[in-house]
Structure 1
Amino acid sequence: MNEIEIVVRIASALALGTVIGLERQWRARMAGLRTNSLVCLGAALFVVLSAMTPGDASPSRVAAQVVSGVGFLGAGVIIRDGASLRGINTAATLWGSAAVGSLCGAGLYLPAALGAGAIVVANLALRPVARTVERHSRVGTDPEEPVHYDFKAICRDADEAHVRALVVQAVSTGGFALRGVHSEDIDASGKVTVTARLAATRRDDKVFETAVSRLSLEPGVSSVSWRVATRDEVDL
């Protein structure tokens, strides 16, 4: 492999990584233009190094190690947001950038260009499709059967009335229907469990995560939690 071929392989990796990164930068994602460009370029450099090194360092073996390394890098951009995860799509894009860079490092320019184009198209064209499917989906339930939630707060006995009002206020938003609220003493501990049962046409956990954060700041509240009620519990 001569010097011109090395330059072409590295330059093509940088160019295709930039194409992928432009879309991520435009959407203001955590891993944007520079990150995707560097991942693609780094993968190409490793493969070029293996191609120039005689012995056991074959390009396919080095590419396998690149995949493992990028996996750790992608895990760093995944963030837990309540009950959901953010950054998975960005991590997958980084993984694809590494694959494109590996192809460039191996001199397979056509598959690399097609792969980079497919990644950009997937991020752009499939986004509205995914939103449309999400709007019309019913997560974990039939369209005719609502989702039931139990929202529970443990507080001091003296704060029961105040906490009941806060629980109702915190969860009676976002299209949820309040089915009932009841309180129960916890032995002789001087504490009370306030439980609210709610129903919704589709599952939406973010409202409850926000309510948990809000009630946790109350001085009289010692514990706040929520869960999806089972069908057997709803029928009781």
Structure 2
Amino acid sequence: MAHLSTLDFLTRLAVGVGCGALVGIERQWRARMAGLRTNALVAAGATLFVLYSEAVSDPGSVTRVASYVVSGIGFLGGGVILRDGASVRGLNTAATLWCSAALGVLAASGNLKFALLGTVAVLLVHLVLRPAGRLIDRVPQDDPDIEGVRATIHLHCDRKAEPQVRVLLLQALGASNLTPTGLRARREDDHTTRLRATIATTGDPARALEQVISRLSLEPGIRDLHWHLVEEPQDAGDEEE
């Protein structure tokens, strides 16, 4: 190690692992998939690879090895991204691992101050921007693709079960923060009732409506249950009760 002393090696490695561990502590505290050890190991690995390139005294090897680290972390991050129904989980975890590797690269290249500043930036993103993101989610969105769209739930049940089904439907909508703007009922000749609930929305209600359907689907007396989005005015031919 002509250009890298043992003290420099240990100092840079310690800073790299420490920066990854600080990020990992926040992740572990929030019970995420990649916690303290994972982020620390990612940072340690990135630091060691770049330190190796420093040790071999090749001027162009540091940049080259750093680019390989970025590619390798991409594969590792892809392994923590999971599809959960209509949503995707693990994107923040993958991005955090990517940042931990970057902190290790900074530390290994001797930019210890920048590595610490980068660690503070990553922690601020998780601690400060998280509540900011939740506030933004609560603001009504005007999406041109779904503007003026209403959701409709269609339900076909036995007539004797109609009162209980009405109550359960309204309770399920309330639990999912959905407010019905209309509820129509049509009684059929075969002693069944068709209910149609209309929900006005300013966003995409798919996930909330699926939760409502899941709550009601196992209820005895329900023969059919589905929902869809409509843009045309509701048909006024049904009897409203």
SS in 2 for 1:85: strand
Between the aligned partners of 1:222 and 1:61, the Cα distance in structure 2 is 63
The superposition leaves residues 98-118 of structure 1 with CA deviations (integer Å, 9 ceiling, x where unpaired) of: 110111111111211111111
Matched to 1:206, the amino acid is R
Name the counterpart of 2:69. Answer: 66
Matched to 2:206, the amino acid is D
The superposition leaves residues 146-179 of structure 1 with CA deviations (integer Å, 9 ceiling, x where unpaired) of: 54124468x9xxx77679x489468633233154
Identity of aligned residues (%): 40
The alpha carbon displacement at 1:196 in A equals 5.5
Matched to 2:78, the amino acid is A
Name the counterpart of 2:103. Answer: 100
Given candidates 139, 143, 157, the residue that maps to 1:140 is 143
Are the aligned partners of 2:178 and 2:199 in contact in 1 as well (CA < 8 Å)?
Answer: no
Question: 109-118 or 126-135, which moves further after superposition?
Answer: 126-135
Q: TM-score, normalised by structure 1?
A: 0.73
Larger radius of gyration: 2
Are the aligned partners of 1:149 and 1:227 in contact in 2 as well (CA < 8 Å)?
Answer: yes
Name the counterpart of 1:33. Answer: 36
Name the counterpart of 2:238. Answer: none
The alpha carbon displacement at 1:134 in A equals 1.7
- Structure 2 residue 47 is the aligned partner of structure 1 residue 47: no
Are the aligned partners of 2:180 and 2:197 in contact in 1 as well (CA < 8 Å)?
Answer: no
Do the aligned partners of residues 180 and 194 (structure 1) sit closer, same or farther apart at CA in structure 2, a change above 3 Å counting?
Answer: closer
Name the counterpart of 1:121. Answer: 124
Name the counterpart of 2:211. Answer: 210
Matched to 1:211, the amino acid is V
CA RMSD of aligned residues (A): 3.7
The superposition leaves residues 118-148 of structure 1 with CA deviations (integer Å, 9 ceiling, x where unpaired) of: 1111111122222222212426269xx6541
Between the aligned partners of 1:72 and 1:221, the Cα distance in structure 2 is 47
Name the counterpart of 2:239. Answer: none
Are the aligned partners of 2:151 and 2:205 in contact in 1 as well (CA < 8 Å)?
Answer: no
Return 5+ residue gaps in structure 1 as ranges. 184-192
Are the aligned partners of 1:208 and 1:226 in contact in 2 as well (CA < 8 Å)?
Answer: yes
Between the aligned partners of 2:107 and 2:83, the Cα distance in structure 1 is 34
Return 5+ residue gaps in structure 2 as ranges. 187-193, 236-241
Matched to 1:149, the amino acid is A
Matched to 2:180, the amino acid is A
Name the counterpart of 2:16. Answer: 13
- Where does 1:170-209 land on structure 2 (aligned, <5 Å)? 172-173=173-174, 174-177=177-180, 179=182, 197-209=198-210
SS in 1 for 2:16: helix
Are the aligned partners of 2:158 and 2:223 in contact in 1 as well (CA < 8 Å)?
Answer: no
Between the aligned partners of 2:59 and 2:220, the Cα distance in structure 1 is 64
Name the counterpart of 1:189. Answer: none
The alpha carbon displacement at 1:10 in A equals 0.9
Question: 167-176 or 71-80, which moves further after superposition?
Answer: 167-176
